[in-house]
Chains A and B, each alone.
Chain A
Amino acid sequence: MIHVRELTKHYADLKRGRLVALSGISFDAMPGEVFGLLGPNGAGKTTALRILSTVLRPTTGTATINGFDVVTQPSQVRHQIGFVSASTAVYDRMTAWEMVEYFGRLYGIGNGQLHGRMEALFDRLQMNEFRDVLGGKMSTGMKQKVSIARSIIHDPPVVILDEATVGLDVLVARALLTTVAELREQGKCIIYSTHIMREAERLCDRVAIIHRGRVLATGTIDELRSEHSEPDLEDLFFKLILSGPEGAPPPRLTNSFS
Chain B
Amino acid sequence: MNFTNIKLIFGREIRDQIRDRRTLFMIAVLPVLFYPLLGFSFFQIAQFLQEEPSHVLVVGREDFNDLPALFASDGGFNSELFAEEKKAKLLKLDFWSLKPGPDGTPARPLSEADMRGMVETGKYEAVVYFPPDFAHKLEAYRLYLKDQVAGKWPANVPRPEVPSPVIICDNRQAKSQEAGARATVPLTAWSEDVSVATLKQSNVDPKPPVHVKRQFVDGRDEPNIDTSLWSKVLPFVLLIWAVTGAFYPAIDLCAGEKERGTLETLLSSPAQRGEIVMGKMMTVMVFSMVTAVLNLMSMGVTGFVVMKNLGPLPQMANVGPPPLASLFWLVLILIPVSALFSAVCLALAAFARSTKEGQYYLMPVILVTMPLILLPMAPSAQLNLGSSLIPVSGIVLLMRSTMEGTITNANQWPLIFPVLAVTFCCCWFAIRWAVDQFSSEAVLFREGERWDLSSWMRHLIRDRQPTPSVGMAVLCGVIILVLMFFYRFLVSPDPYGPQPDLEFFFKIVLVMQVAVVAAPAMIMAIMLTRDPARTLLLPIRSNFRSVIALPAAALLAVFFFPVIHNLAIVVQLLYPLRSPELEVFSKLIAQIQPGTRLFWLGWATIALAPAICEELAFRGFILSGLRHQGHKWRAIIFSAVMFGVAHGILQQSIISTVLGCVLGYLAIQSSGLWAGAAYHFTHNSLAYLTSLSAYKIHHSQFHWMQTEKWGASVFTWPVMLVALLFAGFILLLFSNFPYRRTHEEALQERIEHEAAHSLAG
**Which residues of A are at the interface with B, using a C-beta cutoff of 8 A?**
12-15, 17-18, 50, 53-57, 69, 71-73, 75-76, 78-79, 81, 83, 85, 87-94, 98, 102-103, 105-108, 134, 147, 150, 256-258
Contact = CB atoms under 8 A, between A and B. Distances in A.
Contact of B270 (A90, A93, A98, A107): A107
A256 B8 CA distance: 42
Given A14-B455, A92-B260, A106-B271, 11 more contacts: A13-B449, A17-B459, A17-B462, A55-B268, A71-B747, A72-B755, A75-B272, A87-B261, A91-B12, A91-B260, A98-B15
A98 B229 CA distance: 48
Nearest to A57: B441
A207 B4 CA distance: 39
Interface in B699-746: 742-743
Contact of B455 (A15, A88, A93, A256): A15
A96 B664 CA distance: 53
B451 A89 contact: no
A45 to B, nearest CB: 14
B27 to A, nearest CB: 15
A69 B12 contact: no
Contacts, number: 103
Given A57-B441, A76-B758, A102-B12, A85 B261 contact: yes
A90 B8 contact: no
A106 B5 contact: yes
B110 interface: no
Among A13, A71, A72, A94, the one with the most B-chain Cβ atoms within 10 Å of its Cβ is A72
B164 interface: no
A17 B463 contact: yes
A14, A15, A79, A107: most-surrounded residue (chain B CB, <10 A): A14
Contacts of B233: none
A222 B238 CA distance: 70
B449 A14 contact: yes
A256 B466 contact: yes
Contacts of B743: 256-258
Interface string B302-339: 00000000000000000000000000000000000000
B262 A91 contact: yes
Nearest to B751: A72
A14 B260 contact: no
Contacts of A106: 5, 8-9, 269-271
Given A14-B455, A106-B5, A55 B449 contact: no
B754 interface: yes
Given A71-B751, A93-B19, A256-B465, A15 B449 contact: yes
B85 interface: no
B20 interface: yes
B267 interface: yes
CB-CB nearest 6 A-B residue pairs: A87-B261, A258-B743, A72-B754, A93-B19, A53-B268, A83-B268
A68 to B, nearest CB: 9
B445 interface: yes
Given A15-B449, A15-B455, A78-B269, A94 B12 contact: yes
Nearest to A84: B265
25 contacts: A14-B455, A14-B456, A17-B462, A53-B268, A56-B441, A56-B445, A57-B441, A71-B747, A72-B750, A75-B270, A75-B272, A78-B270, A79-B270, A83-B268, A87-B261, A89-B261, A93-B19, A93-B20, A102-B12, A103-B269, A106-B5, A107-B270, A134-B19, A256-B466, A257-B743
Nearest to A256: B466
Contacts of B357: none
Contacts of B139: none
A69 B441 contact: no
Contact of A102 (B8, B268, B272, B459): B8
Nearest to B262: A89
Contacts of B753: 72
A54 B742 CA distance: 22
A85 B5 contact: no
Contacts of B5: 106
A102 B261 CA distance: 17
Contact of B267 (A13, A55, A108): A55
A256 B466 CA distance: 7
B16 interface: yes
A69 B445 contact: no
Nearest to B21: A93
Most buried by B among A13, A15, A79: A15
Contacts of B262: 89-91
A55 B459 CA distance: 26
B745 to A, nearest CB: 10
Interface string B4-40: 1100110010011001100000000000000000000
A83 B265 contact: yes
Given A17-B463, A89-B261, A105 B8 contact: yes
Contacts of B271: 106
Contacts of A90: 260, 262
B216 to A, nearest CB: 55
B268 A81 contact: yes
B264 interface: yes
B269 A88 contact: no
B605 to A, nearest CB: 39
A180 to B, nearest CB: 18
Nearest to A92: B260
Contacts of B758: 73, 76
Contact of B459 (A14, A50, A69, A258): A14
A85 B270 contact: no
Contacts of A107: 269-270
Contacts of A92: 260
Contact of A85 (B4, B9, B265, B447): B265
Contacts of A93: 15-16, 19-20
A78 B12 contact: no
Interface in B423-450: 441-442, 444-445, 447, 449
B467 to A, nearest CB: 9
A256 B442 CA distance: 18
Contacts of B747: 57, 71
A88 B270 contact: no
A56 B463 CA distance: 22
Contacts of A12: 442, 459, 463
A106 B462 CA distance: 44
Nearest to B17: A93
Contacts of B755: 72
Nearest to A79: B270
Q: Which of A75, A76, A98 has the most CB of B within 10 A?
A: A75
Contacts of A55: 264, 267-268, 444
Interface in B264-291: 264-265, 267-272
Contacts of A69: 754
Contacts of B444: 55
Interface in B75-93: none
Given A17-B459, A73-B758, A88-B261, A54 B751 contact: no
A75 B445 CA distance: 20
